[in-house]
Amino acid sequence: NAGVTQTPKFQVLKTGQSMTLQCAQDMNHNSMYWYRQDPGMGLRLIYYSASEGTTDKGEVPNGYNVSRLNKREFSLRLESAAPSQTSVYFCASSELVYEQYFGPGTRLTVT
Amino acid sequence: AQKVTQAQTEISVVEKEDVTLDCVYETRDTTYYLFWYKQPPSGELVFLIRRNSFDEQNEISGRYSWNFQKSTSSFNFTITASQVVDSAVYFCALPSDNYGQNFVFGPGTRLSVLP
């Protein structure tokens, strides 16, 4: 079992460029999440998906879009990257109110 | 709104000391869950414990123990006889809805255990 996988691990973008962060889980979980982690701020939820075909906004959704492609995959898209989106991004999955399993993270720098 | 406060930004202890990490939460729900996660220097996030608000008994797992007090809205985490491998950032978290879909994390406490 790979658990939760994320690609890429590192990315550098110029302001205005777009990119998609990929996430996949092999635990058959219904719920998937995207977080960003900034120094001193903990993890902040960007979007989540309670089940295949549904997505909802979290605390900081502006500037992002998501797609729940199927039960396994949940992608995060930055349409026009901004320096304020420099962060570490984590994907996670869980079953209802049970513990979340996190991916290894993607370190994104926007210059 | 749901909120999690971890007032201790950084703590340093010497190996074998006991240390307690504080977590205070606010919730509008009458039943809820609370979580602790660990983030070691390698960066991954590791689940430590989930607690249901129905159960106020303290939990002990090896050197780790958790004290949940509904009356003070606190869910504190104690490491007994700390070790260098306990050095990490520790997060307390609370789902902001009954389905556990929308999580709120505290800002974290960075624990450094010195040899």
pLDDT tens profile B88-109: 999 999 887 655 567 889 999 9
For residues B21-31, average pLDDT? 91
Q: How confident is the model at residue B38 (pLDDT cuts 50, 70, 90)?
A: very high
What pLDDT shows up at residue A97? 67
Asked if the peptide bond before residue A83 counts as cis, ω within 30 degrees of 0, the response is no
What pLDDT shows up at residue B101? 66
How far is it, in rounded angstroms, from Cα A48 to Cα A4? 15
Collect all residues of chain A within an 8 Å Cβ-Cβ radius of residue B33. 97
How far is it, in rounded angstroms, from Cα B12 to Cα B87? 9
What b/e string do you get for A33-53 counting C-beta neighbours within 10 Å, with b at 16 or more? Answer: bbbbbeeeebbbbbbbbbeee
Task: Determine, for residues A48 and B106 on separate chains, whether the beta-carbon distance falls below 8 Å.
Answer: no
Find tokens 């999440």 and name the residue. A33
Rounded to 5 degrees, φ, ψ at B110 are -85, 115
Which residues of chain A fall below pLDDT 70? 1, 96-97
For residues B51-78, average pLDDT? 89
How far is it, in rounded angstroms, from Cα A65 to Cα A43? 18
Nearest Cα to B32, choosing from B78, B77, B73, B91? B73
Q: How confident is the model at residue B56 (pLDDT cuts 50, 70, 90)?
A: confident
A52-62 residue pLDDT tens: 889 999 889 99
Q: Which of B4, B47, B101 sits opposite A50 (nearest CB)?
A: B101
